[in-house]
Chains A and B, each alone.
Chain A
Amino acid sequence: MRDLPLPPAPIALLAELTHRCPLSCPYCSNPLEMVAREGELDTATWARVFAEAADLGVLQLHLSGGEPVARRDLPELVEAARQAGLYVNLITSGIGLTEARLDALEAAGLDHVQLSLQGVRSGIADRIGGYKSGFDRKLEVAKSITARGLPLTLNAVMHRQNLDDLAETISFAVELGARRIEIACVQFYGWALTNRAALLPTREQVEMAKRTVAQAVQTYRGRLAIDFVPPDYYADFPKACMGGWGSTGLNVTPDGTVLPCHAAATIPHLEFQRVTEAPLAEIWQHGPAFQAFRGHDWMQEPCRSCARRDIDHGGCRCQAMALTGDASATDPVCRYSPQRPAVDALLAEIPEAEALPEFTYRR
């Protein structure tokens, strides 16, 4: 018996510093059961995690949440990450980013800000975020970020109720001076799965969105970089989720639990470890949750013998779990999946505009 070869080094670490957040978006990527403030890792432990991540090969650090600005020690965390040699990206709603805090983050060496956008006008944005006057405050923050020369990406989360505003959203990004926009159609896990009937776009919306993006890529070439994540339920093949399980990135939750992706805890039988229990390298290389879906041995048919198995890696394990109850199944988005009819049935049942259900907000 010989040791298995080590997995490739990860490139990105998503640090969910806190689950606390002033917004309550109905598609929040945090789990339904959140970590309370008392359970959060302290400053020194995060700093150690960042150093271990850099030693392991991580280049990109995404400081996320919840709302990471809710952490008072955020500038210290940015400084620790820069000292470890990481590229530091702040993923924020902008709420709580005062001028003084931006000064401190700039001084600490923050590289880039990714600002979430719930809607392109105050009415829709504040309704989605569940936070009154949130849009106006976000706008002020965005202007301050670009006035400082900090690189800005808008992360526009799109779904049934705002996808018709896509062209306006892209021109809004250009007017703000953002360098990039990520047009991320909601993926259905956790809170978004709970609210799927209110969020799943129609086929007409998706087709229009593709045309809008193709046009905008030409119109704004050289001014705005555009990344588009279409809703995968309408795709023929699944997304190559995380570039393959346990191959490029890892996620650390507020209490230090290390996950292969932010939704991995929705897979019931996986065993996770914490950064307080084992070194990050040990967890990445040998942790049972990371090993669970590496390689091909876990695959079932039709994935196992599929010519695309190294292209999309069988798709998303969390989506297979959510829609089929079996985390090892082919992602049912795939046209080769025997379960694809279940996805088609969901698309056939999309409610009329007047009949959209109310949101269950993240609380």
Chain B
Amino acid sequence: MTDTLLTAKSDPFVRLPRGVRLHHDRVRDMPVLLGPERALMLDEIGLAILTEIGQGLKMSVLIERLAERYDAPRAEISGDVIGFIEDLQVQRLVDYADA
């Protein structure tokens, strides 16, 4: 199934910039994303997406891997993944960069 939301042009390389990192909050016992002036409490899905990013990868690859890992149809999850990443990118908590 083709992905209508991703084209060659809008398939950015996604990575966590310097100064943004995953952290386990031992007091509240939950994962958080720490960045400048931000501490985002993550749910299971958010953690899964951000963990998969690792050292960086193309958005299409990210979606592919998550679809495999959770045995979910690509088309079903791509909108949510892209929305989640774009929301973070606008806050500069995720970078789009050339690989």
- State which of A9, A180, A225 has its C-beta within 8 Å of the C-beta of B27: A9
- Residues of A with C-beta under 8 A to B28: 9, 57
Q: Which residue of chain B is the closest to A58 with respect to CB atoms?
A: B27
**CA distance in complex: A180, B38 (Å):** 12
**Does A48 count as interface, using CB distance less than 8 angstroms?**
no
A180 adjacent to B92 (CB under 8 Å): yes
A85 adjacent to B23 (CB under 8 Å): yes
- Residues of B with C-beta under 8 A to A150: 18-19
- Residues of B with C-beta under 8 A to A11: 39
A and B contact pairs by CB, cutoff 8 A, 13 listed: A59-B23, A60-B37, A60-B39, A85-B26, A87-B35, A150-B18, A153-B36, A179-B36, A221-B90, A222-B89, A222-B90, A224-B92, A225-B90
| A residues at B contact (CB < 8 Å) | 9, 11, 55-57, 59-60, 85, 87, 89, 111-112, 114, 149-151, 153, 179-180, 182, 221-222, 224-225, 227
**Does B46 count as interface, using CB distance less than 8 angstroms?**
no
- Residues of B with C-beta under 8 A to A227: 37
| B residues at A contact (CB < 8 Å) | 17-21, 23, 25-28, 32, 34-37, 39, 89-92, 96
- State which of B17, B23, B32, B90 has its C-beta within 8 Å of the C-beta of A151: B17
Q: Which residue of chain A is the closest to B27 with respect to CB atoms?
A: A57
- State which of B19, B32, B36 has its C-beta within 8 Å of the C-beta of A59: B32
- Residues of B with C-beta under 8 A to A57: 25, 27-28
A112 adjacent to B36 (CB under 8 Å): yes
B32 adjacent to A179 (CB under 8 Å): no
- Residues of A with C-beta under 8 A to B91: 225
- Residues of B with C-beta under 8 A to A87: 21, 23, 34-35, 39
- Residues of B with C-beta under 8 A to A224: 92
- Residues of B with C-beta under 8 A to A153: 36-37
A56 adjacent to B27 (CB under 8 Å): yes
A59 adjacent to B39 (CB under 8 Å): yes
Name the distance in Å between A284's Cβ and chain B's nearest Cβ.
Answer: 12
Name the distance in Å between A213's Cβ and chain B's nearest Cβ.
Answer: 15
Name the distance in Å between A216's Cβ and chain B's nearest Cβ.
Answer: 13
B27 adjacent to A111 (CB under 8 Å): no
A180 adjacent to B37 (CB under 8 Å): yes
- Residues of A with C-beta under 8 A to B23: 59, 85, 87
**CA distance in complex: A224, B36 (Å):** 13
Name 4 extra pairs, CB < 8 A, besides A60-B37, A112-B19, A222-B89: A9-B27, A89-B36, A111-B34, A180-B37
Q: Which residue of chain B is the closest to A151 with respect to CB atoms?
A: B19
Name the distance in Å between B31's Cβ and chain A's nearest Cβ.
Answer: 12
Chain B CB within 10 A, most for which of A87, A153, A222:
A87
